[in-house]
Amino acid sequence: MNKRLSLLACLAIAGTGALAVVPRGSEAVQTRTLVIDSAGDFAAGTMDRTAVTSDGSVVLGQDITRVALDPAAGGVWSLFEGTDGLYAGTASDGRVYRIANGRAEHWANTGGIAVTAIVAGEGNALYAALVGSGNIVRLRGPQNGQPREGERFAALPGVEHVWALAYDSARRTLFAATGPDGKLFAIDAQGRATVVFDAEESSLYSLAIGPNNTVYAGTGGGTTAVVYAVRGPSDARAVVRLAGNEVKQIRVVGDSLYVAANEFAEGLSLPTGRSALASRSPSPGGTGGTRGRPGRGAVYMVRANGVSERLFASTETHVTSIEWDATRRAVLAGLGANGRVVSIAEDRTATVVFDVDESSVLSLSLTGRTRAFATGDSGAVYLVNANNAERATWTSKVLDATSPARWGAVRWRGGGTLDWEARTGNSDPPDATWSSWAALREDGTVAESTSRYVQIRARFSRDPASTLRAVTVYYLPTNQRPVLTEVTALPREGEARPAVVRLNWKVENPDSDALRYRVRYRSDGDSTWRSLHRNSDYTTGTNLEWAVDGLAEGFYRVSVEATDEAANPDGEALMDRRESEPVLIDLTPPVVTARVDNGRIVGDVRDGATAVTRVEYAIDTLEWRPARSADGVLDEREERYEARVPAGLAAGEHTISVRAYDEAGNMGVSSTTLRVR
């Protein structure tokens, strides 16, 4: 699917991220809706020759024509409208193309790596700024149908990159912003260059001619973003210091400046030498190095007194170019990601004016006779046509029911006539497993109705005056059963002989339905489950205290049944059941006997439910020591134990205490008396 054109689709001031469409409806499995009714919602979709206005309406947009350049041209770094056509300066081989009558002609060569700027100078001669050579060339048109090499106009000493040009017709002087030493050159009609400003920063990236013989120069290539006002070799001052490390472009409007400033986390390194540039194409953001991801960009208005106001900021992309649109009284800004041009109004609302397939828009020429913008990746120039598009569509983003659903009606609000289509699938993004686009049924419902995802598309071809203001998509999620993942039954902590077992269970509830739980128990060997509920048939919590006093001793299992019957019609409810591990109910301590026989402590331990696990004795309760099982292992309900009476006991009576534990932790105690003479 090609995305071609989007006009005035509102974006948040913080960036250009798509807005989520939130399902409306309760959590139970009943009919829900996905509602698209704002500019951000519509802009999250795909526009092909349609426009999204700032009030959140989709209308027919202006048509654009893509003019592809030679694949060897690379990205289009500069656009200039001359008297006989539009000129595009490119990267890779530093070629210049002329676009006229909807076609691109390889018009001139420069001998540089990239053409960063084209301006008209004395006698309307065209001059090109080059990266990689420090030269400014005068362009010469084709001869005998073949592009010619540019004529070197000025060789700037100590310069590797000429980043910007500006021609002051009043002084008949060409100004050049350069790197890597941050110098501003003034060049006369004979190509003689003079340094008029030497900035502390490593490069000057942007230029603009202002009133009163003022040249505004923006910095980059270091750690700061500063705009300087230069009126002469000894007359320069800093106008404003902005957040970031690059001033990409400056526009003078009356007594104010509009400034694009960027910040790149990777830093702004410049390669040295032509070979480095050949292997590592300079970044269109203004640096000579490559960047792994887009930076952060902002557009500021700077008043004459130096006070700056941020009109736009994005954390997702940097700003590559700006222009002032006097008709709309807005700043147009090309973005380095998502192939967009945005319009930034004085009230700080940012809107998309164009949205194309390429990932970045590098240069703008949208305010002259020929309205155009150009892109990176595969270099192309888009011409804005004067008429509205004849065929246009708006396609929603992929709409997610979060689980398989039965899709229903598509209802829309607006005016005129629209033709609607839909397709469904179970993958995001759509792939070959999706259904084909199909018209909605006569009743307005989706033809292929069961899937997790759906996309809808509106066609404006029958009625150019149609307007789309809101869309509601109805769907019924397929009921998903609750799943019990764990059931535990443990004696309540802190009690020596607990008569209460604490029951807990965990459940996965994908539909967030209101659930009911039925809890039952049975003893091992018994096939009958008995309810644990006293005053109702179920509980809605996920824990329960089970009073086990009065139960016969032994092992028991607990069963929990979870059901979503309260949230679904009869016949459509689902359930899950899970049992606990056996839990021992044993509230009776072992019975212990003790006596002294021929210098040994002996006795028996009997328990009615579980095995004896530990027997200990103490003399005069001074120290508890383990007694030995007569058969060597404590593992039966009845055990005989023995221990040797320690030698060296003092004469007199001594109390011998014996305690024994069963598997449930119950303790039985006995004692006897030993007389030593």
Segment 460-516, tens digit of pLDDT: 877 878 999 999 999 998 888 999 999 999 876 655 556 889 999 999 998 888 999
Report pLDDT for 4: 37
**573 pairs with which residues across the strands?**
none
Residue ranges and CATH numbers for the domains of the chain are 9-61+392-477 (2.60.120), 74-318 (2.120.10.30), 483-585 (2.60.40.10), 591-676 (2.60.40.650)
- Please list the helix, strand and coil fractions of the chain in percent, rounded to the nearest 5, in that order: 5, 55, 45
Cβ contact 215:174 at 8 Å:
no
Cβ contact 450:478 at 8 Å:
yes
Q: How far apart are CA 580 and CA 519, in angstroms?
A: 11
Cβ contact 409:444 at 8 Å:
yes
> Across the chain, which distance is largest between two alpha carbons, in Å?
136
Cβ contact 468:58 at 8 Å:
yes
* Closest-CA residue to 271 (of 367, 206, 180): 180
Residue 293: both structure tokens together: 């991801």
Cβ contact 240:227 at 8 Å:
yes
Report pLDDT for 288: 34
For residue 302, what are the CA distances in angstroms to 227, 366, 601? 10, 22, 99
Across the chain, which has 677 residues, the per-10-residue mean pLDDT values are 36 34 53 91 85 81 87 89 93 90 93 93 92 92 92 93 95 95 95 95 94 94 91 92 95 96 67 33 39 80 93 92 94 91 87 84 94 90 81 92 93 95 96 96 90 95 87 93 94 65 94 93 92 91 91 91 91 93 89 94 92 94 91 94 91 94 90 91
Cβ contact 114:132 at 8 Å:
yes
User: Quick check: helix, strand or coil at residue 342?
Assistant: strand
Report pLDDT for 373: 96
State the Cα angle at 468 between 464 and 472, rounded to 5°. Answer: 145
Report pLDDT for 265: 77
What residue type is 102 in one-letter code?
A: G
Q: Tell me if the pTM is above 0.75.
A: no
Range list of β-strands (E), 346-418 = 350-355, 361-365, 372-375, 380-388, 393-395, 399-415
Q: What is the layout of strands, in order, in the sheet containing 652-662?
A: 625-626, 612-619, 652-662, 667-676
Q: How far apart are CA 134 and CA 156, in angstroms?
A: 6
**Pairing, β 667-676 against β 652-662:** antiparallel
Report pLDDT for 390: 67
Q: How far apart are CA 252 and CA 328, in angstroms?
A: 16
For residue 614, what are the CA distances in angstroms to 499, 599, 607, 636, 667? 22, 22, 12, 11, 9
Residue 482: both structure tokens together: 């609750």
Q: How far apart are CA 582 and CA 555, in angstroms?
A: 6
Q: What is the layout of strands, in order, in the sheet containing 95-100?
A: 76-82, 85-90, 95-100, 103-109, 148-149
